């Protein structure tokens, strides 16, 4: 039998230098403890989900003991519901099973010609592997392309007679997920998946409001070379207001429309937006890094797909070889931050054909079905459109999620890296601000899900008796603020943390 969830923090600390810190001390509760026993638990949970404001909603809930397998509570556990980002639990589990937690991506920079007197007589080709973490998180720096440029300079190269070519053919060119809404596509959370990524394929917009209401707001985009043409119609609002900015960009277009208002004096407001072509974005960033280090590049930055024939780099010299962090680290960003690009990339990565052809989401879904079938989850028990949960075509049940979470918990290969990658209530990730000063703080580890009219939370919590529990809570079709759904879910998880037999 596994140790209680709290113990995984100690295990992880011994297993990896960057593992989680021990859970913080939970503040004493001032409310009376609930009644002990399973019957009282079921009664309390039922009362939470039957509130009047959610009378038109549909709940799917399942709670089980990881010690005994006993079902402690269930409510429509087999009903198909939109899971939102709880789909990432499925994708992460399948990727870990098929690729392994030590899996890495390797990106190379290859010269297509000889170097003579510091002059490269050919192109520099960036050969992508689908690494979603390439360039680090958008808030990090210096970026990977600057380090690459330093390596090129160290090789004595001062001029490139050719171009900077991005080669992304490890994946197909279907960058958008099945069923993604068109009005998502301009935002950073819906950036296209590519075989060559950079900066999570997003651009950060900064806003400089005027001094008086009605003044135009200056909008700038970083990093440079993003290829977007910004049409700004943003106005300054009263200083005591809130920023209200909308962005829109149609597929295939470089024109980004930015509208709305930003309060006077508010200079810290930012918005991330997606790029149209991540491959060109990466190539342009690398070209700029080379120029900034005094390396002249005569050609432009280009996607290999735009060339009449693909570049022949089979006999070229590899000047740079970059290996990503392992899947165990990538998984922390995927689950704690709920990073869509990472999840949809992994769906394609597990679908890489054996013949070396481009990976596709379709093939990834087939491989994922194989994995779930091996765990006793048939294809009739879920519907999958993408890897991230951004699509409203996804449908899961609470029972499927609990089955997968149980598998991750009971498999020694997956136990520590998977649980370590989950957000921790009141501590980090997407539930850092939830369930504070309760028995769930530093205890519950769970993945959130959020899309219009759907909320979810699935994961693990240890009861007051030290009994490890697994749960999934999904709600769809409500018409009240999402915070009200979160409040019910949080109350239920706290009740599980307080549960005594």
* Strand-by-strand arrangement of the 296-297 sheet: 115-116, 119-120, 159-160, 296-297
Q: Quick one: pLDDT band at residue 311, thresholds 50, 70, 90?
A: confident
> What number of H helices and E strands is found in the chain?
11, 20
Q: Quick one: pLDDT band at residue 26, thresholds 50, 70, 90?
A: very low
DSSP assigned state of 220: E
pLDDT tens, residue by residue, 394-405: 999 999 999 999
Q: What is the pLDDT of residue 143?
A: 85
Q: What is the pLDDT of residue 21?
A: 33
Q: What is the pLDDT of residue 31?
A: 53
Whole-number Å distance between alpha carbons of 217 and 238: 13
226-246 mean pLDDT: 93
Count Cα atoms within 13 angstroms, Cβ side, for 243: 19
Whole-number Å distance between alpha carbons of 210 and 216: 6
374-378 mean pLDDT: 97
Token pair listed for 440: 């769930």
Q: Using alpha carbons, list the distances in angstroms from residue 158 to 119, 164, 292, 325, 463.
A: 6, 14, 12, 30, 63
Q: What is the pLDDT of residue 141?
A: 61
pTM of the predicted protein model: 0.92
Question: Cβ contacts of residue 30 below 8 Å, gap of 6+?
Answer: none
Bond prior to 99 in cis (omega within 30° of 0): no
Whole-number Å distance between alpha carbons of 94 and 92: 6
Whole-number Å distance between alpha carbons of 455 and 48: 15
Q: What is the pLDDT of residue 2?
A: 47
Least confident of 225-234, 290-299, 319-328, 476-485: 225-234
Q: What is the pLDDT of residue 226?
A: 84
What is the DSSP pairing of strand 244-248 with strand 454-462? unpaired
Is pLDDT at 12 greater than 60 in this prediction?
no
Count Cα atoms within 13 angstroms, Cβ side, for 411: 17
Whole-number Å distance between alpha carbons of 101 and 447: 19
Q: What is the pLDDT of residue 28?
A: 36
pLDDT tens, residue by residue, 117-162: 999 999 999 999 999 999 988 866 668 999 999 999 999 999 999 9
Whole-number Å distance between alpha carbons of 329 and 324: 9
Whole-number Å distance between alpha carbons of 257 and 337: 27
């Amino acid at each position: 039998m596994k140790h209680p969830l709290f113990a995984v923090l100690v295990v992880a600390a011994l297993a990896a230098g960057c593992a989680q810190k021990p859970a913080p001390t939970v503040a004493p509760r001032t409310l009376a403890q609930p009644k002990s026993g399973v019957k009282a638990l079921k009664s309390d949970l039922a009362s939470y989900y039957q509130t009047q404001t959610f009378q038109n909603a549909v709940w799917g809930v399942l709670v089980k003991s990881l010690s005994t397998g006993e079902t402690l509570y269930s409510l429509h556990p087999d009903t198909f519901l939109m899971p939102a980002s709880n789909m990432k639990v499925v994708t992460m589990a399948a990727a870990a099973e098929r690729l392994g937690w030590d899996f890495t991506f390797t990106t190379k920079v290859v010269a297509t010609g000889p170097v003579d007197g510091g002059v490269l007589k050919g192109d520099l080709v960036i050969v992508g592997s689908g690494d979603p973490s390439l360039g680090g998180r958008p808030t990090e720096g210096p970026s990977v392309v600057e380090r690459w440029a330093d390596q090129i300079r160290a090789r004595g190269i001062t001029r490139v007679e050719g171009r900077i070519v991005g080669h992304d053919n490890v994946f197909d060119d279907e960058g958008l997920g099945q069923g993604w809404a068109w009005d998502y596509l301009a935002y950073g959370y819906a950036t296209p998946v590519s075989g060559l990524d950079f900066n999570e394929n997003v651009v950060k917009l900064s806003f400089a409001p005027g001094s008086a209401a009605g003044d135009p707001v200056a909008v700038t985009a970083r990093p440079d070379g993003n290829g977007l043409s910004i049409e700004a119609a943003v106005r300054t609002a009263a200083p005591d207001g809130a920023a209200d900015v909308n962005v829109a960009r149609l597929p295939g277009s470089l024109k980004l429309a930015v509208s709305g208002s930003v309060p006077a004096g508010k200079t810290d407001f930012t918005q991330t937006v997606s790029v149209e072509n991540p491959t060109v974005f990466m190539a342009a960033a690398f070209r700029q890094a080379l120029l900034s280090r005094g390396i002249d590049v005569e050609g432009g930055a280009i996607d290999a797909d735009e060339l009449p024939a693909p570049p022949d780099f089979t006999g070229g010299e590899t000047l740079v070889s970059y290996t990503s962090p392992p899947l165990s680290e990538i998984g922390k960003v995927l689950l704690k931050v709920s990073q869509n690009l990472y999840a949809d990339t992994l769906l394609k990565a597990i679908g890489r054909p054996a013949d070396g052809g481009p990976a596709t989401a379709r093939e990834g879904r087939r491989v994922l079905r194989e994995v779930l079938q091996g765990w006793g989850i048939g294809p009739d028990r879920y519907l999958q459109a993408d890897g991230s949960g951004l699509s409203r075509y996804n449908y899961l049940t609470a029972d499927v999620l609990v089955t997968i979470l149980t598998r991750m918990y009971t498999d020694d290969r997956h136990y520590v890296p998977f649980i370590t990658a989950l957000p921790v209530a009141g501590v980090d990730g997407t539930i850092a601000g939830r369930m504070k000063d309760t028995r769930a703080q530093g205890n519950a580890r769970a993945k959130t899900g959020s899309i219009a009219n759907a909320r979810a939370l699935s994961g693990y919590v240890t009861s007051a008796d030290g009994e490890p529990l697994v749960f999934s809570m999904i709600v769809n079709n409500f018409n009240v603020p999402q915070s009200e759904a979160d409040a019910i879910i949080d109350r239920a998880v706290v009740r599980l943390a307080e549960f005594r037999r």
